[in-house]
Structure 1
């Protein structure tokens, strides 16, 4: 029997809080946030932010999915296909040190080409197709790294680390957080065998997302500071790949600071990232980081939204002209954030319009994002005469 995923964060939060025997004030003190925010979210008068969800989950000692309802299923063949790869991915991750003796890996060049195809599927947010591809590719790479001569092992481990990263993307998008944590362990293990310090640094950057989900902002910030210290602070001497890793850590640090919230610190990290992007002089995709001027601009909107400053988010978005080369996965995230910005700003029509832009850019990412559902529920509650476009979008999400 499938769980009802049409229910919003507010009712789930209220029910879990009461089961823990906490008042709204007590929960607010543990998050921490205002009692008014807890009350408004529980009554459905304000959408739950990612920061509030993470903080409340930590305070209530539950997984984030207990509050968001993830993973979302609607029982349709289309959606079941997206989730169908999860068992195979779990098996592939569990067999990391026990290669399948019946698998005969192809040459390194063929494996590299498939990893590149998998990375492009992730970049394009085609998670269903990526999920179909990865289990077999992971099994093949696992056998290859155990059987390869020493001269080839480092390169194969780099490919395996990149392929494991695809699992983290699927698990995060669909809401399989336990699988994501396991995949992160495999990413780091393989990266450390690749003899590539930058890949290891990128892996640590990726690890910081786990601290975001668990609302462990101070530890996450310390991890990112450590990465920058190891890379060095002289950006003028960095090559493009190092600049990308360095700049990406500042963008992630900006989100951590916004979650605290510390506006001054957040915008300082954005400025540091902008300087790194200026030296890079163009959007790049070293180690799948998508770092460059476009990603800095996208994060400017994200930082404002994290701090509930819709007016600032809309103002900064008005200055952004994203090129057509921006990855769909980044574009989808940008529109999801901007839709919340428009909602906080008080323009419900533009919020819905922007959600449709997110759907066009990255439909699977948009459909499975809890913030999209929170935005749509809020729009539904605020609109007395619900337009067909809003009803249609809610129906597409599986919200009655």
Structure 2
């Protein structure tokens, strides 16, 4: 589909890519709809550009047609001249660092434990701020230092180093997910799990299972994802009064992820049941926290209930729930940016195009790299362009910033 990087609007559409992939496999719209499953009307509207594709539909179609998500989303979105996309240049070095997971560089003299802890804290902070270029530049060297230090240490020091290494590998998964390098993401998640097991920390291992569930989301394997998350909760325990704060965070995060699984499976009742379980865990926790990078707490519950409504094309419900609470200024930019991206889709489904664009602009302000590389942002913008008879200066500027034709 790509020759010189200048795609036509039709080629840029996910719907157009779905139509091309469907025809290559000799399927009618009805046959594809039967296999997804969904209505033929939805397939037709998405292919023609009359309705934006949801993440649920895109992943289900990719699974049904046995193709990669990137073939439908067009990721990664490469534009060397875009400041927000300089993170792509860090990907080759991160790949090389992942390959050397069991081959520590003997020429490296590991820095002090204090320095390694501080560097991992800094890397985690960059991830929370969605500053992926700086994070990508930092990670390869940090991974080499941590790998060397972990392999030459023993006892509790070794356990802690592998915990830090697992956290650093998580930074690679965040960049890979954001930029659309799905193979790199899978490899990095394997390394996250390996280092977590070596850390001898059961909660860190449980957290990696929560992270692993995103792979089931990406392949529309909702039953297995829900099964995995249920197993994590069972292993932690479900008596909230007996759980430590970090355990509450992991427990609550699994309910939030389960809510998204249920929403994508169009099981509205189950989705909001999971939201209520998570809300109770957040109440017991007493406020927003960031155990193991999960960002769990009342704010994350609010953002997920909006996301659940959006996943089911219910813009009115998404807007209603968003208006019920005010998010504090302490919410991490990476989470707030994702929330604004979801909410912009909610406004679009609700019929308020101006609010949709304003919310996308808010996402850009708090998390530009994340916003520029998110396929649902591009779907929303393309729909706004199609619906507006006269493109406003703000919309034209946003289209140009995204690098769309």
Is it true that 1:326 corresponds to 2:331 in the alignment?
Answer: yes
Match runs of 1:74-153 below 5 Å: 74-76=79-81, 78-79=83-84, 81-153=86-158
Q: In the alignment, which residue of structure 1 is the partner of 2:206?
A: 201
2:291 aligned with 1:286: yes
Deviations 1:140-160 (A, max 9, x none): 111111111334110000000
Matched, 1:299 2:319: no
Is this contact kept in 2: 1:2–1:73, CA < 8 A? no
Determine the C-alpha separation between the residues in 1 that align with 2:227 and 2:309.
22
The CA deviation at 1:3 is: 4.8
Pick aligned residue for 2:189 from 184, 192, 195? 184
What is the deviation of 1:2? Answer: 5.0
- Deviation string 1:306-365 (CA, Å, 9 cap, x unpaired) is 000000001111112000000000100110000000000000010001000111111100
User: What is the alpha-carbon distance in structure 1 between the residues aligned to residue 23 and residue 84 of structure 2?
Assistant: 33
1:379 aligns with 2:379: no
Aligned to 1:235: 240
Query: For each residue in 1:39-59, what CA deviation from the matched residue of structure 2 results, as whole angstroms up to 9, or x when unmatched?
Result: 111111111100000000001
> 2: CA distance between counterparts of 1:262 and 1:8?
28
SS in 2 for 1:282: coil
Deviation string for 1:278-315 (max 9, x for gaps)? 00111000000000000000001000000000000011
Q: 1:77 to 1:316 in 2, by over 3 A?
A: closer
- How well do the aligned residues superpose, as a CA RMSD in angstroms? 1.0
Residue 382 of structure 1 deviates from its aligned partner by: 0.5
* TM-score normalised by length of structure 2: 0.97
Residue among 63, 66, 70 paired with 1:65: 70
- Aligned partner of residue 241 in structure 2, secondary structure: helix
- 1:241-280 aligned within 5 A: 241-280=246-285
Sort the Cα spacing of 1:11 and 1:268 in 2 relative to 1 into closer, same or farther, 3 A: same
Counterparts of 1:80 and 1:269 in 2: how far apart (Å)? 36
TM-score, normalising length: structure 1 = 0.98
**Equivalence for 1:10:** 15
1:73–1:79 contact (8 Å) kept in structure 2: no
**Is 1:27 equivalent to 2:32 in the alignment?**
yes
- Give the superposition deviation at 1:75: 3.1
Aligned residue pairs total 400
Q: Deviations over 1:77-136 (max 9, x none)?
A: 625521011000001101101111222211111111000000000000000100000000
Given the alignment of the two structures, is residue 223 of structure 1 paired with residue 206 of structure 2, yes or no?
no
Q: Distance in 1 between matches of 2:6 and 2:380?
A: 18
Match of 2:50 among 42, 45, 50: 45
Please list the CA deviations of residues 154-204 of structure 1 after superposition, one character each: whole Å capped at 9, or x if unmatched: 000000000000000000000000000000000000000111100000000
* Distance in 1 (alpha carbons) for counterparts of 2:20 and 2:397: 29
- Per-residue CA deviations over 1:224-273 (Å, capped at 9, x if unaligned) read 00000001110111111000000000000000000001000001000000
Q: Deviations over 1:205-232 (max 9, x none)?
A: 0000000000000000000000000011
| Pairing of 1:356-395 with structure 2 (within 5 A) | 356-395=361-400
Whole-angstrom distance in 2 between the partners of 1:287 and 1:352: 33
Instruction: For residue 48 of structure 1, give the secondary structure of its aligned residue in structure 2.
Output: coil
Q: Which runs of 5+ in 2 are unaligned?
A: none
Shift of 1:30: 1.2
CA pair 4-29 structure 1, distance change in 2 beyond 3 A:
farther
